[in-house]
Structure 1
Amino acid sequence: MIRLRSTAILGVLISSSAFAAERTITLAVQNMACDYCSSAVRKSLEAVPGVAKAIVSLNDKTAIVTYDDAKADVKALIGATTRAGYLSASRS
């Protein structure tokens, strides 16, 4: 009984995914002027480990990003768009 409980506790402690959550954030993205721009932003976000989906709107100048918060964070998302040449900030 003790061994089973110890194994279960150890499994939870080792597994960071036990505490992971899927998050969705809206980023306000600057300097997007064409379809190439929105595609570049989408690809930069999708390259971040943990990002499940990125929907970029050229008209609204936004990116809606769904990601695993155990693998990515807002700072990584903003860094990805910035490295692609498009400054962004959290809107939500």
Structure 2
Amino acid sequence: MASGGSGHSAGAFDIRTVIASLFGIYGVVLVVLGFIQPQAEIDKAAGLNINLWAGLGMVVFAAVFVLWARLRPIKVPTDGEGGTAAE
């Protein structure tokens, strides 16, 4: 995981982290709804618990995005690293 340049990572400002958190929150809500919805709603969808499966898919998607952001962080260069910062 060694990189050639110094600097700090984008961290919470990385767009992958924002996307993962949104998908994670919506996924957890759908999983909870999938467990508490009545059987009549499941029967309307041909016996498939759509909320549960969609929620699980969204949670897995969020986990992949978090893993991607942790394994390959975006490095933000400091002012002295090739930037054209005015003095």
TM-score between the two structures when normalised by the length of structure 2:
0.28
Greater Rg, structure 1 or structure 2?
Answer: 2
Greater relative contact order (Cα 8 A, min sep 6): structure 1 or 2?
2
More strand per residue: 1 or 2? 1
